[in-house]
Amino acid sequence: MEQVIETPPAENVAVKTDDPRYLSAYLLEKLGVTRLNRHNLLLRCRSCGEVWSPTLNADASLPAGYWRCPNGCNG
């Protein structure tokens, strides 16, 4: 089994909830995705273990379907 390093929420640091990098861990769990790193957007599929980093749109918003596994496990 791989070890997943989970970063606890850091409510007291300057986190803007409209920052696209600030993803809802709860939502991602529902999607079968684990966020590996809260600063760089690095996601891992919990089905196949694929790791990917969505590319933000030009306006720094998250692209549609950013949470989809490249292998299509959850999309």
Nearest CA to 22 among 4, 31, 10, 5? 10
Min. distance of Cβ 54 from Zn ion in angstroms?
14
Sites for Zn ion among residues 5-44 (CB under 5 A): none
Query: How far are the Cα atoms of 1, 6, 13 from residue 53, in angstroms, in the given order?
Result: 22, 17, 23
Which of 24, 47, 53, 57: binder of Zn ion (CB under 5 A)?
A: 47
Which of 28, 50, 52, 62: binder of Zn ion (CB under 5 A)?
A: 50
Decide: is 55 part of the binding site for Zn ion (CB under 5 A).
no
Radius of gyration in angstroms for the set of CA atoms belonging to the chain, rounded to a whole number: 12
Decide: is 51 part of the binding site for Zn ion (CB under 5 A).
no
